[in-house]
Amino acid sequence: MNTEQAPPKKRGCLFYGCLSCIILSLVVVLLGYLVLRYLSNRVLEFTDTKPVSIESVQVSPAQLDALKKRIAAFMEILQEQKVSNELRLSAEDLNALIATDPSVKELRNKLFVMIDDSRLRGKVSWPLDDVKLQGRFLNGEATLKPSIQNGAIQVTIDSFEARGRAIPPQFLSLLNHQLLARFKEQLSSKNSTTIQKFESIQIKEGAVVLKSKGKE
């Protein structure tokens, strides 16, 4: 009799990335690109020559293991789609993933997440070398509203402050338009089957709440 157990399934970026990157990463990736594109003549007003210190969290191996088990259990239910289920991720959970998960390592020391009741905020310190602004950093704070509707990711940036100043409404409108388009391009097109299994992503009661679909 063959008693060998099947090797555990490898989980790629989607395992954690769909839970953390889906909310966190696109804003910091896009801001540098859009600052150059839409604020090229005012870029110095909103960027700095040095990064700012970004907080991080320290979690014990036991806490991290418990978090990964919660996520793994949710993902199993999500894939089976037999019953609806919710996963609640606190700001500490999301920051722990940023600090430890290889799939979002580019966010370490660049993003710190905060949740105030129904608001998701992020402290950002992002180098702009990739958009030919060597030596410039976008330091500030953004307020975000993520959601999934009809199998598509939607994210709205309510506000963004850099160097103590609010980014102009005209730029914020362009930013939201480009952000939505980029989310659909980079995530929905690749992971549409899994994304369609989510019913919603909400920020409520101090947590990111992901809800999976059940049987109709």
Structure token digits, residue 9: 């399934």
Does the structure show a pLDDT above 60 at 2?
no
Contact 81, 169 (CB under 8 A): no
pLDDT tens-digit readout, 70-126: 999 998 998 888 888 999 999 999 999 989 988 777 788 988 999 987 888 989 888
Q: What is the DSSP string of 196-216?
A: TTEEEEEEETTEEEEEE----
Q: According to the model, what pLDDT value does residue 188 have?
A: 47
Tokens 């395992």 sit on residue: 15
Query: What pLDDT does residue 86 have?
Result: 93
Reported as a single tens digit per residue, the pLDDT across 18-51 is 555 555 555 555 555 555 555 556 667 778 899 9
Phi, psi for 183 (deg, rounded to 5): -60, -45
pLDDT value for 213: 86
Q: Is the predicted pLDDT of residue 15 greater than 70, yes or no?
A: no
> CA distances (Å), 109 to each of 53, 91, 124, 142, 167, in order?
7, 15, 9, 16, 23
Residue 153 confidence (pLDDT) above 80: no
Q: Is the pLDDT of residue 12 over 80?
A: no
Over the chain, what is the mean pLDDT? 76
Q: Are 25 and 157 in contact (CB under 8 A)?
A: no
Write out pLDDT tens, residues 193-205: 777 788 888 888 8
Q: What pLDDT is attached to residue 207?
A: 92
